[in-house]
Every structure is written in structure tokens, then in C-alpha cells.
Amino acid sequence: MEGEKKKILIVDDDGFLLDMYAFKFSQNNFEVHTAMSGAQAIQKLKEGLKPDVILMDIIMPEMDGFEMFEKINEEKLSEDSIKIILSNKGQQEDIDRGMSLGASGYIIKVNSTPVEVIDKVMKILLEKKSIQK
């Protein structure tokens, strides 16, 4: 189990952040998939991508992260994925909305280094795995 790569879909419209997180997660034994928009992420899920984790931004053009989350829930896409929000929107109402949609975690970008983001994602993954057993 230890050597098994976890699939992660990172959704962010900021290309620099997307590349940086993709690189960091790939260094930590993740098979990384990326999407620059909610619509692109939905398309990848419809095409059969089944990530263990979906790490999504909220503020994106076309379809924000909340809309993407709602669509994933409505269409029952990737139901087994652990969904984590990574956003600069840190107001309590945003956090509450994300959690009510089924997010397993809410990470505020400006308060977290890339290493801390990876640590938090790993911690959430471990917690979810122990609950499912």
C-alpha cells in the first residue's frame, strides 16, 4: 500500500500555482492530473478520471469551485474522491459552504506553504482511509 501512487486532480486557474503544486505532489508519490478550470475538471471526470483527491480552487473564471463542486455532486462524478478546497477565500461563510458541499478539508492558500498543503492533504487522506476500514 505504501508504494501505491495516489491520483490527485488539482484545479486552479493560476498556471504558476498549478505547475508548482503539480511538481510538489509528484515528488510526494502522487500521480498528478491538472485542470485550469472547473469545466475542464468536470470534462476529465466525465472521461473517466477517478482521482483519490480533488484539490480545487474557488475563484476561477467560467465556473467557480463551488459551482464545480455542486456539478460534481449533482452528476455523481467521482463520488469516492476526497474533495479538498485550496483557496484564498477564507471567510467563515465560504468555509461553511465548502464543508456543506462535502469538502473533507479547507486550506487557505495565503496561510499555507506548499509543504504544509501537501502535509494537510496527506493527513486528510490518512484520516479518510482509517474511517473507511
Range of the domain at 121: 6-126
Q: Say if 109 falls within a structural domain.
A: yes
Per DSSP bridges, beta strands 82-87 and 53-56 are: parallel
Q: Say if 132 falls within a structural domain.
A: no
Distance (Å, rounded) from C-alpha 80 to C-alpha 11? 17
Structure-model confidence comparison of residues 133 and 35, the more confident one: 35
pLDDT digits (tens, 9 = 90+) for 117-130: 999 999 999 888 77
Q: Say if 94 falls within a structural domain.
A: yes
Burial of 74 by CB count in 10 Å (0-12 exposed, 13-18 middle, 19+ buried)? exposed
Q: Say if 87 falls within a structural domain.
A: yes
pLDDT digits (tens, 9 = 90+) for 46-85: 999 999 999 999 999 889 999 999 999 999 999 899 999 9
Q: Say if 131 falls within a structural domain.
A: no
Write the CB contacts of 42 (distance below 8 Å, at least 6 apart in sequence): 63, 68, 71, 72, 75, 77
Q: What is the pLDDT of residue 33?
A: 98
Total structural domains within the chain: 1
Give the containing element (helix H, strand E) for 66.
Answer: helix 65-74
* Residue-averaged pLDDT of the chain: 93
